[in-house]
Structure 1
Amino acid sequence: MNEVVTLLDLKPGDSGIVKGFAPGNADYRRRLMAMGLTPGTPFTVTRLAPLGDPIQLQVRHSALTLRKDEATLLRIVRADPT
């Protein structure tokens, strides 16, 4: 059905749902979860810097900015447009 991709595959205005995390690097995984990026959480990409780093998201009524190395750890699916 929906293909699992990384956050780097989305562009501003795209929405997604967190499905999980890449294996390894438990410290980043805990940090992302502490920021509210838990499996099942919907979000929208609001800004992308010209060189792709950082990426700004709208998550649970908050703006969240991630570096590219953090963004590659997220496994997401694109949200269906409604």
Structure 2
Amino acid sequence: MLLDQLPTGQRAEIAAIDWSVLPSDEGKRLRALGVDEGASVSIRHRGIFFGRDPIALSIGRMTVAIRRAHARAITLREPKFGAEAAE
């Protein structure tokens, strides 16, 4: 599932990011904000404009606004809980 398809409030883990589709300066900014593989994220809310931009992304204790185009470059997996996380 891509990040822009994640239902609001549901938590997921970033599995991969296609950095090649993002301008390098924007990729650096996202990494500096903690948007990288393995990070746990959820969508707090979506914008009201056409295309529902921007997306308010909760990552750690921060809320970061990202463009929908950036969210389409991020692939998710469901987070591991309990004993599965220790493996």
Task: Give me the TM-score of the superposition, normalised by structure 2.
Answer: 0.73
- String of CA shifts for 1:38-67, please: whole Å, max 9, x gaps: 211101111012442111111110111111
* Letter of the 2:57 counterpart: L
Whichever structure has more helix as a proportion of its residues is 2
**Structure having the higher Rg:** 2
Whichever structure has more strand as a proportion of its residues is 1
Quick check: 1:6 aligned with 2:23?
no
Aligned to 1:54: 54
Structure 1 runs not aligned, ≥5 long: none
Task: Give me the TM-score of the superposition, normalised by structure 1.
Answer: 0.77
Identity of paired residues, percent? 18
Q: 2:15 touches 2:38 (CA, 8 Å); kept in 1?
A: yes
For 2:19 and 2:31, how far apart are their aligned partners in 1? 14
Count of aligned residue pairs for this structure pair: 78
Structure 2 runs not aligned, ≥5 long: 83-87
Q: 1:46 touches 1:57 (CA, 8 Å); kept in 2?
A: yes
**CA shift for structure 1 position 79:** 3.1
**CA shift for structure 1 position 80:** 6.1
Which consecutive aligned stretches of 4+ in structure 1 deviate over 4 angstroms post-superposition?
A: none
